[in-house]
């Protein structure tokens, strides 16, 4: 992620949009191992956000925190699905991150469905839910036979942790302290900075 795609000005503009049109609609946001650029943007925008909103954001900065945070906020089956999906999407080679999220598992021995946790797939994707919920269009088109899954590298499990391959990056690559964040923010061009007349959202 680069400063062109994630910088303080984007964060401020998005926060302004959400505050004006969708106030306090956020339930919980969990950021898993955010990179340095994201951390910089978050540190810059956080002072403008209401404390209630900031308190809804959980930053997971090390892999050792991940399972405990997921277990705290989700059911065991959902926590396991998120953890498995996270591992598969960070596995090398990079091409494996472009797995077909809209189709069922391509390996017969895999019990992980990239479309979602088992009950969600059963009640919300493969069945018409009474609420009228519509899944991602790609999922609907795949079920209707209008879309074929793309080829991807095998996601079979093989190592001691249940996953083949290695994580794309180590925890240390994600670490950045507030002093470094402030220095990086200050070095960004004016177009990426929060406006001088920016107001705190309420």
CB neighbour list of residue 175: distance below 8 Å, 6 or more residues apart: 61
Digitized pLDDT (tens) for each residue of the chain, 202 residues in all: 555 566 778 888 888 888 878 877 888 889 888 877 777 778 888 888 888 888 888 988 888 889 899 999 999 999 999 998 888 877 765 554 456 778 887 766 678 888 899 999 888 888 888 888 888 888 888 888 887 765 444 444 344 344 444 444 444 444 456 667 667 777 778 887 887 888 787 7
Sign of the Cα torsion 34, 40, 45, 50 reads positive
Distance between CA atoms of 66 and 128, rounded to whole angstroms?
A: 33
Distance between CA atoms of 149 and 100, rounded to whole angstroms?
A: 6
pTM of the model: 0.65
pLDDT at position 70: 92
Report the first-to-last Cα separation within the chain, whole angstroms: 29
Respond yes or no on whether the N-terminal peptide bond of residue 93 is cis (omega within 30° of 0): yes
- Virtual torsion, Cα 158, 84, 109, 136, nearest 10 deg: -140
């Amino acid at each position: 992620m680069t400063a062109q795609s994630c910088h303080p000005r984007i964060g401020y503009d998005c926060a302004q949009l959400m505050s004006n049109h969708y106030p306090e609609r956020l339930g919980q946001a969990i950021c898993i191992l955010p990179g340095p650029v994201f951390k910089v943007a978050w540190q810059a925008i956080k002072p403008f956000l209401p404390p209630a909103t900031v308190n809804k954001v959980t930053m997971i900065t090390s892999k050792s925190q991940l399972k405990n945070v997921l277990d705290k906020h989700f059911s065991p089956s959902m926590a396991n699905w998120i953890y498995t999906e996270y591992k598969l999407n960070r596995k090398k080679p990079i091409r494996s991150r472009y797995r077909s999220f809209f189709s069922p598992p391509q390996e017969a021995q895999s019990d992980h469905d990239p479309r979602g946790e088992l009950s969600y797939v059963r009640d919300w994707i493969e069945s018409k839910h009474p609420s009228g919920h519509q899944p991602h269009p790609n999922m609907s088109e795949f079920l209707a036979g209008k879309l074929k899954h793309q080829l991807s590298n095998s996601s079979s499990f093989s190592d001691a942790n249940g996953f083949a391959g290695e994580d794309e990056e180590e925890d240390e690559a994600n670490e950045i302290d507030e002093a470094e964040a402030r220095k990086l923010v200050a070095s960004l061009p004016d177009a990426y900075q929060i406006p001088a007349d920016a107001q705190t959202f309420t």
